[in-house]
Amino acid sequence: MAKADTGTASTESGLDTAVIERTAEWAGIDEQDLCDALVVLHADLIGRHSQFERTFDYVTVDGTRAYRVSDAVCDELLSEFGFEGDIAAGVRLAHTEQAKLLFAKSVHGDDNFDADECGIVIGIDTAEQF
């Protein structure tokens, strides 16, 4: 079986290749299935970033925006896409790990997420860069 193209998924989702690969291993899911879910989700998240920035704590690092959201918000988002079980857990884990890395890299961010918080990452050029 060919290895998933995590590089393409990384480019299209805003998540690092290493994060995607680790998450698939940790969650015990197929890398390609995780990549597909991340790309589908990201396509929708691009249209929501302005809504998120008005509501949630966030940082922007190298053209990627990371948000700290409640578990309830993340659950609702994942259910909109029908992500369940291991795929939902993998998507949540990948986004949260990447968000924590971005918050840690940011001068203004606090990467200490509470137990009831997770991350959402959107790899876009934001208005503040224009």
pLDDT digits (tens, 9 = 90+) for 88-113: 999 999 999 999 999 999 987 787 89
pLDDT digits (tens, 9 = 90+) for 46-66: 888 788 989 999 999 988 999
Is the four-CA dihedral 101, 102, 105, 110 of positive or negative sign? negative
Place of tokens 């998450």: 23
| DSSP state, residue 30 | -
Rounded to whole angstroms, the Cα distance separating 130 from 124 reads: 12
Does residue 31 fall inside a structural domain? yes
Does residue 76 fall inside a structural domain? yes
Does residue 1 fall inside a structural domain? no
Q: How many domains does the chain have?
A: 1
Range of the domain at 94: 6-129
Does residue 24 fall inside a structural domain? yes
Q: Write down the pTM of the prediction.
A: 0.88
Does residue 92 fall inside a structural domain? yes
Tokens (6 digits) for 16 = 């690092």
Does residue 56 fall inside a structural domain? yes
